[in-house]
Chains A and B, each alone.
Chain A
Amino acid sequence: MMDSRKKITALLIGNPNCGKTSIFNAVTGAHEKIGNYPGVTVEKAEATASFFEGEITFVDLPGAYGLFAYSEDEKVARNYLLESLRPNSDSDRIFVAVNIVDASNLERSLYLTLQLKEMGVPLVVVLNMIDGALIKGLTIEAAPLAKCLGVPVVPTVGHKNKGTNRIPGEIFAAVKSADKPLVPPLIYPTEIEEKRAVLLTVLPDAASEAPQDTFRPNESFRRFIAMKLLEGDAEVPDYWRTSKVRSILAHLGDVVKNKTGEMEESEDEVMIASTRYNYISRLCEKTLVRSSGRKRSFADHLDAIFLHRYLGIPIFLTMMFVVFYSTFTVGAIPMGWIENGFSLLSEGIRNLWPPDSKSLLQSLLIDGAIGGVRGVISFLPNILILFLAISFLEDSGYMSRAAFLMNRFMNQIGLQGKSFIPLVMGFGCSVPAVMAARILENRRQRITTILVIPFMSCGAHFLIYMLIIPAFFPPKYGGLVLWLIYLLGIVMAMTVAKLLRSTILKGEDADLILELPPWHWPTLSSIGLSALEKGWLYLKKAGTVLLGVSVILWALTAFPRLSQVDQERFALMRASVGGTTSELTDTEVLRSHDDQMTEIDHLEMEEALSQSYVGCFGRFLEPTLQTMGFDWKIGTALIGSLAAKEIFVTQMGIVCRVGNGEKNEASLRVALKKNYSPLTGLCIMIFAVLGPPCVATIVMIARETGAWKWAVGEFVFLTALAWTVTTVVYHLARVLGWG
C-alpha cells in the first residue's frame, strides 16, 4: 500500500517529437514552472497537480531515443532518471516513469520502453498520437501490449486532450502494484547472459559498497546496470565501477568507454541492441494491426515540393522572408497600443508632481523605471509573433527539412544541417538558441554553432535598427539597409564558423542523423502555449533584469548631482531671463523667452550628465570610441546594452534628454539626426550586429559550453572584431568623403 505521506513525482520521458509536451500540458493544465536541472542548466518544465488520490509533480524530461546518452538532451534525461531512481530509504518521494510512446512510430518508441522496463522502475505507458497511427493505417491493441509489458497502457491523442484524464489514475495504480516481469521474458544471447551473470556476482548490491547514502538497488536495476556496462556505457556512475567490476569487464574482453570519450567498438553493443529490436518486432506483430489506411501520398507530395532539388531553397528563403516581414509589420500594430499606454502612464505619474518639479522620485519612476522597460515591453508583440512562427516551423516538421536542404551549404562552413536550427532561432533570441544547439552531438560543431549565434541579429537588435534607420535613412532605402545589416551578420557568422572550424575547433565533420518527422499541422494551442511561455520569460526579464539595470543606469546618470555652485549659476541665468516675464505681452517675445528657458534647461542637463558617473566613464572611453565615430554618449548606451541590447535605445533616450524627459521615439530620432551623421548611425548598427552579445547570452554560452573560457573569449573576440570593423568602415567612409 502506498503510504499517504509519500509524494509522487512522475517523470515524463519519450522520444523527441512524441507529443510529450502536449501530454504534459494536458495533465497539468500547463501551469509549469521553468527551473533548472541540478548540475547542467537546462530548461525544465515542472508542475504539480492535485487529484482525488493525492498530488503528483510532473517533470517534463528532454526527448531521448534510449537510455544511452548520445546527445546533451539525452544525457540530461538519462541522468535525471538514474538519479531519481536511486531508492533512498529516508526519502518520502516515489518516482514513476511515464513513457510517452508515439503510436505511429511504435517500434522505435518501444526501444526506450523496453529499457525502462528492464530498469524495473514503476512505469506507465502512454500510447500517444493514435490518430496519427490510424492515418498510417496502423491500429494498436493496447491490451496485448499491456499484458506483455506488465504495465498499464493508456491510449491518447494528447493535442486533442483525448484519453489523457486516465493518466493520473494509472500513475497512482502503478505506484501500488508490484513490478511485473515481461511476458515472454527478454532473453539475450547465451554469451551475453553469461557475461552478465559473472558481472552480477561482483556488482555492488548493498549499502556498504555505495558511498554515503543508503542506496539499495533492487535486482532488476542491478541487472540493467550490468547490461549498461556490457554495452560500454561511459556514463554509468562511478560507484558501480568498483575495482572488481573493472577487472571482470577487462577479463570479459569488453572495452568500456571511458569518460574522455575515446570509444572502442564492442560487438556486445550490437548484439544487445539487436536482441531488443527483435523482441520488439515480435511484440509489434502481436499488437499492431495493419490495414491499408490512407497512403502517405499527400505527405510525399509535400516533401516532393519542399525538398525539391531546385525549388527547395527558394521556397525556404521565401518562407523566411514571410516570417520576418509579418513579424515586423503585424507586430507594429499592438506595439503602438502599448506605446500609447506607457505614454499615458508616464503622463499620469508626471501629473502627481507640480509642473516644474525636480523631484528625484519622479525622475526615478519616469526616466529610470518606465523609460527602461517601455521599449522592451512594447516590443513584446513582435517577439511573440517571431516565436510563434519559429514554433510553427518546428512543430510542422519543416525545420528538419530546412536542415536537410541546408546541409550541403552548412558542410562547406564546417557545420552541418542541424546547426541551422539554432541559428534560425537566434533571430528570435540568442539565449534559447544557444540551448537549442544541444541537438548537435559533436562537441566542436556544437561550440562553433554556439559561438556564431550572436551574429544572428536578435529581436532586441532589431529595436536598435528601428531607432537608427528611420532617423538617418530615407524611407525608400530603409528596408534595404535593414536587409544589409542582417546579411552582414549572416556573412560574418559563416566566415567565423569556417575560421573556427579550420583553426581552434578543427576536427572531422560530424555525422548527421536527424529524424524527419511526418508533416503535422500544428494546433494553435500547442504553438500558442510555447510562444506564450517564451513571451512570459521575456516579460519576466523585462520586469527583473531590465528594470534593475535601467534603475542602476538611471542612478549612474543622475548622480553625482550638480554642485551647489553650478545649480546657483543656472538659477541665476533663469532669473535673468525670467525677471521680465510679467511685462511681456508680445507672443513673439514670449516664445523666445520660452526658448531661452528650454535652452538653459538643456545646458543644465548637459552639464549634469557630463559630470555624472556615466558621463565620466563615457569620457574616459572616448578616445577608443572616437575611432569609430562615436561620442561618449553613444558609448554609455553601448555599455548599457551589454545588460540587454534593448537598453541601447533607452539609454540614448536618457543621455539625449529628449523633450525634457519625454522619451518619445520620434523625438529621439530627431535629436539623433541633429547630433549625429548618417555614417555614425551606420557605424552604431555595424557595432551592434558584430559586437558582444548581452550578459544573459554570455552566461548561457559559459553554461552550455561548460567553460568560461569560451564565453570570455567570445566577448573579447566580438568586441575586438566590432571595434576593428567599425573603425575601418568609419575611416574608409571619411576618406571617400561620405558622412
Chain B
Amino acid sequence: MMLSSVPSGKMVSIIGMKAENGFRGRLLSLGFVPGTKIEIVRGGAHSAFIVGCRGSRLIIGRELADRIQVSE
C-alpha cells in the first residue's frame, strides 16, 4: 500500500518509492531506505502528512506520499 493511505498512529515499514526529480535521493538521504520503520503521526485525508522517521519528524506532501510504498 501507499503511505498516503495509512491512518494516523500506525507504524509501517518502507518498501520502495517512485519519486522523481531528485526527490527519491532526498528521501534516501533523510533515511527513507527500504526496511526503515516509520510512524505516521498525521495520516488520512490531509494535503500533507507528518511522518516520524529515525527520531525526527518530516512533513511530506500528498503527491509524494502517494508514491512511497509501505507495508505493515
Q: Please list the residues of chain A having a beta carbon within 8 angstroms of any beta carbon in chain B.
A: 65-66, 68, 70, 104-108, 111, 136, 231, 261, 263, 265, 269-270, 273-274, 277-278, 307, 400, 403-404, 407-408, 411, 416-417, 441-442, 508-516, 518
Point out the residue from A270, A512, A518 that lies within 8 Å of B48, measured CB to CB.
A512
Q: Mark B9-51, 1 if CB is under 8 A from A, else 0.
A: 0000000100111111111111101111000001000111010
Contact of B34 (CB < 8 Å), options: A136, A270, A416, A514: A270
In the complex with contacts A408-B47, A511-B64, A513-B26, A274-B59 CB distance below 8 A: no
Q: Contact: A106 with B55, CB < 8 Å? A: yes
Residue contact A516 to B50, C-beta cutoff 8 Å: yes
Partner of B61, one of A106, A277, A511, A518: A511
Tell whether B2 is near chain A: CB-to-CB under 8 Å. Answer: no
A265 and B24 form a contact (CB under 8 A): yes
Q: How many A-B residue pairs have CB under 8 A?
A: 117
Contacts known (A70-B22, A511-B19, A515-B58); A273 close to B63, Cβ less than 8 A: no
Q: In the bound complex, how far is the Cα of B55 from the Cα of A104, in angstroms?
A: 8
Q: A65 is contacted by which of B23, B24, B29, B61 (Cβ under 8 Å)? A: B29
Least CB distance from A134 to B in Å reads 14
Cα A512 to Cα B61 with chains together (Å): 4
Beta-carbon contact of A277 and B33 below 8 Å: yes
Please report whether the interface of chain B is mostly helix, strand, loop or mixed according to DSSP: mixed
Structural contact, A511 and B56, CB atoms closer than 8 A: no
Count residues of chain B with CB under 8 A from any CB of chain A: 33
A387 vs B16: C-alpha distance when bound (angstroms) = 42
A417 touches B59 (CB 8 A): yes
**B33 CB to nearest A CB, Å:** 4
Specify the chain A residue showing the minimal Cβ separation from B34.
A274
Please measure, in the bound complex, the distance between the C-alpha atom of A486 and the C-alpha atom of B16, giving whole angstroms.
45
Q: How far is the CA of A307 from the CA of B8 in the complex (A)?
A: 14
Q: Which residues on B sit within 8 Å (CB–CB) of A104?
A: 55
| Chain B contact residues, CB within 8 Å of chain A | 16, 19-31, 33-36, 42, 46-48, 50, 54-61, 63-64
- What are 21 residue pairs bridging A and B, where the CB atoms are less than 8 Å apart in the complex? A111-B31, A263-B22, A269-B25, A270-B16, A270-B28, A307-B42, A403-B59, A408-B46, A411-B47, A416-B61, A441-B23, A441-B26, A442-B21, A509-B61, A510-B21, A511-B61, A511-B63, A512-B48, A512-B64, A515-B58, A516-B50
Contact status B60-A513, CB under 8 Å: yes
Give the residues in chain B near A513, CB-CB below 8 Å: 23, 26-27, 30, 58-61, 64
Tell me whether A408 and B29 are in contact (CB under 8 A).
Answer: no
A703 to B36, CA, bound (A): 40
Taking a contact as CB atoms closer than 8 A, the residue among A107, A231, A400 that contacts B59 in the complex is: A400
User: In the complex the two chains form, what is the Cα distance from A403 to B29 in whole Å?
Assistant: 22
**Residue in chain B with minimal CB distance to A511:** B64
Check A509–B28 contact: CB distance below 8 A: no
Q: How far is the CB of B70 from chain A (nearest CB, A)?
A: 15
Q: With A263-B20, A263-B21 in contact, is A269–B28 under 8 Å at CB? A: yes
A-chain residues with CB within 8 Å of residue B64 when the two chains form the complex: 511-513
Closest to B51 in A: A516
With a cutoff of 8 Å between Cβ atoms, the chain B residues found around residue A65 in the complex are 26, 29-30
Write out the residue numbers on chain A whose beta carbons fall within 8 Å of the beta carbon of B22.
70, 263, 441
Contact (Cβ within 8 A) B31 A516: no
Q: A417-B48, A512-B48, A516-B57 are in contact. List 13 more A-B contacts (CB 8 A).
A: A263-B20, A270-B33, A270-B34, A277-B33, A404-B59, A407-B48, A511-B63, A512-B64, A513-B58, A513-B60, A515-B57, A516-B56, A516-B59
Residues on A with C-beta less than 8 A from B28 are: 269-270, 273
Q: What B residues does A269 contact at CB under 8 A?
A: 24-25, 28
For B46, give the chain A residue with the smallest CB separation: A408
User: How distant is the Cα of A105 from the Cα of B56 in the complex, in angstroms?
Assistant: 6
- Please report the C-alpha to C-alpha distance between residue A514 and residue B36 in the assembled complex, in whole angstroms: 19
With A66-B29, A68-B25, A261-B21 as given contacts, are A107 and B55 in contact (CB-CB < 8 Å)?
yes
Inter-chain contacts of A508 with B (CB < 8 A): 63
B58 to chain A, nearest CB (A): 6
Instruction: Quote the shortest CB–CB distance from A323 to chain B (angstroms).
Output: 22
Docked Cα-Cα span, A274 to B33, in Å, equals: 5
Q: Which residues of B contact A515 (CB under 8 A)?
A: 56-59
Whether B55 contacts A108 by the Cβ 8 Å rule is yes
CB closest chain-B residue, reference A107 = B54
Chain B nearest CB from A309 CB (Å) reads 9
Residues of chain A contacted by B54 (CB below 8 angstroms):
105, 107-108
A702, chain B: closest CB distance, angstroms: 25
Please give the distance in Å from B65's CB to the nearest CB on chain A.
Answer: 9
Residue of B nearest to A418 (CB): B59
